[in-house]
Amino acid sequence: MKKLILITSIVASLGLVSAANARGDYRHYDNVRYERAKVVHVEPISGYSESRYPRERCYPVSSDRDRRKGSIVGAVVGSVVGYKLGGDRGEKRLGSVAGAVVGSAIGQSVADKGRDTHYRCDRVEERYGHAAIIGYNVTYKYKGQRYTTFMDYDPGRWIDVEVSVRPGRGYRH
C-alpha cells in the first residue's frame, strides 16, 4: 500500500512539473527556445485580390442566308405581280418597282418568322477583384528592443519569438 502511494505521489509530482513548464514563457528544443514578446503595433496591409469564375455565355445565332433568300424571292414575285397589275407601259415599270420593294419586305418578314434560331455558347472566365487584407506588419518588443515582421494573421497582444543560441565566429580568446 505504501508503494502504491509513493508511486502515485511521484507520478503526480511529475505531472505538476511538466504542467508548470508548459505554462512557462519558454520551451527548450536543442539550442532553441520560445519566449513571449509584447505586441506594440499591428498594421493591416491591404492588397488587391482577384477571383476567377468560369461561366458559360450564350447568345442567339441565326442564319442571314434565309433572310436574304426571302427578300430576293419576295422581290421577284412582287415585281412580277406589280408588272401584271400595272396598266400601260409606264405604269408597268412603276408597278414592277413598287411590287419588288413591297415583295422584298414581305419575303423578309416571312423568312424571319420561319427562321430557326439556335444558341451558341462559349466558356468565358469572369474576373472579380476586390481589396482585401493580405497580411499584417507586426511590431513587437523583446528585451527592450523593437522588431517588426510580416505575418499573415493578427497575433493579438503577445507573440511567440524563437530564441536560438549558437557559437559565434567573431571574438576568440
Whether residue 111 has pLDDT greater than 50: yes
* Angle at CA of residue 106, ends 101 and 107, nearest 5°: 95
Whether residue 162 has pLDDT greater than 70: yes
Whether residue 125 has pLDDT greater than 80: yes
- 146 inside domain: no
Lowest mean pLDDT across 3-7, 71-75, 106-110, 130-134: 3-7
Comparing 93 with 137, which gets the higher pLDDT?
Answer: 137
Task: Look up residue 99 and give its three cell numbers.
Answer: 411590287
Task: Look up residue 61 and give its three cell numbers.
Answer: 445565332
Instruction: Find the domain containing 94 and state its range.
Output: 63-116
- 7 inside domain: no
- 90 inside domain: yes
Whether the Cβ atoms of residue 140 and residue 147 lie closer than 8 Å to each other: yes
pLDDT digits 0-9 by tens, 30-80 = 788 899 999 999 999 998 878 888 888 888 776 665 566 666 777 777 666
Q: How many domains does the chain have?
A: 1
- 99 inside domain: yes
**Residue 97: CB partners within 8 Å, gap ≥ 6?**
79, 82
Q: Give percent of the chain above pLDDT 90.
A: 23
Report how far residue 86's alpha carbon sits from residue 100's, in angstroms, rounded to the nearest whole number.
13
What single letter denotes the amino acid at residue 10?
I
Q: What integer pLDDT is reported at residue 153 of this predicted model?
A: 93
Of 111, 122, 116, nearest to 59 (Cα)? 122
